[in-house]
Amino acid sequence: MCLIAFAWNVHPRWRLVLAGNRDELHARPSAPLARWPGSPIMAGCDLLAGGTWLGVTAGGRCAVVTNVRDPHAALDGESRGLLVSDFLAGTDAADAHAEHLRARAASYRPFNLLLFAGDQAAFVGNQPAPHARALAPGVHALSNADLDTPWPKVLTIRQAMQTWLGQADGDPQALFVALADERLAPDADLPDTGVGLALERRLSAAFVRGEAYGTRASTVVAIARDGSGSIIERGFGPSGQPGVETRLDFG
């Protein structure tokens, strides 16, 4: 994933509401959202390295990962997608898993990881050094830097989540509209992550439209306080061409 907003333990019905975009090379082989055979996991699947970018389980566990934008980072290391699937397939608490992972986080490519299970939520990252912390109730957003780093699209998607929380109908469409935002940030507001101004500008949109690289999936997750919920994924092809929409409910 490259853009995420989530509300943790602040809604009267939903323990977790999460909305995110996955940006990736269109040529990288992936399977859309599905129930994994012989596993509790509901997620898309990275067919190249295994694992996934975002997933849930019928028990209400959820995990999602982003990379950290650093053109100088080493390309070796374990696959970040396995961070998500390993947690979803397990049963340990979010904070315990985060602390255990912190000790070996440096062996992975640069990442941010969000973990949700029961009444616990945790964040783990390995840039600039491994770190982990429990998350208190609140509304947060994340892109390819540390949690709540105020990049323009991070601030915008977090405000969209705040607005959604104040609506009575709970319709996920408003979150999908926010994820589809293609507006670019002013150059003066762009971060400098070492990829050059032209690419910083292009990546400043919530939805990245491109022939070779861009947004491949928009996903909304809603998990109620009893662990039931739904995950909805809208897929996209090169140049933002709409693909398959999948909804899985669990309880």
Residue ranges of domains in the chain: 3-250
Using 50, 70 and 90 to split pLDDT, how confident is the model at 195? very high
The pLDDT value recorded for residue 89 is 96
- Tokens (6 digits) for 227: 């662990």
Strands (E), 94-241: 111-117, 120-125, 131-134, 138-142, 213-224, 229-236
How far apart, in whole angstroms, are the C-alpha atoms of residue 185 and residue 188? 8
Per-residue pLDDT, averaged over 191-200, amounts to 95
Q: How far apart are CA 157 and CA 244, in angstroms?
A: 23
Q: What is the pLDDT of residue 139?
A: 98
Q: pLDDT class for 214, splitting at 50, 70, 90?
A: very high
> Quick check: 176 pLDDT over 70?
yes
The whole-chain average pLDDT of the chain stands at 95
For the residues 144-159, what does the mean pLDDT come to? 98
Averaged over 209-231, what is the pLDDT?
A: 97
Question: Could you give the strand order of the β-sheet that contains 54-57, starting from the edge strand earlier in sequence?
Answer: 30-35, 41-46, 54-57, 62-67, 111-117, 120-125, 131-134
pLDDT at 251: 87
How far CA 245 is from CA of 34, 209, 218, in Å, comes to: 11, 18, 9
pLDDT at 87: 97
192 by DSSP, 3-state: which?
coil
Helices within the chain (DSSP H only): 81-89, 94-102, 152-165, 173-179, 197-202
Residue 70 confidence (pLDDT) = 81
Cα–Cα distance for residue pair 68/127, rounded to 1 Å: 8
Structure tokens at 131: 């770190």
Considering the entire predicted model, what is its pTM? 0.96
pLDDT in tens, 19-62: 999 999 999 999 999 999 999 999 999 999 999 999 999 989 99
Name the residue with tokens 């709409």: 242
- Residues written for the chain: 251
Please report the pLDDT score of residue 75 as a whole number. 64
Q: pLDDT tens for residues 55-112? A: 999 989 999 999 999 877 766 677 899 999 999 999 999 999 999 999 999 999 999 9
204: helix, coil or strand? coil
**183-192, Cβ contacts within 8 angstroms, sequence gap of 24 or more:** 185/151, 185/152, 185/153, 186/152, 189/152, 190/152, 191/145, 191/149, 191/151
Looking at residues 150-163, what average pLDDT do you find? 98
Residue type, 40: P
Q: Which CATH superfamily does the domain covering 3-250 fall into?
A: Penicillin V Acylase; Chain A (3.60.60.10)
Name the nearest CA neighbour of 40 among 246, 227, 243: 227
pLDDT at 239 over 70: yes
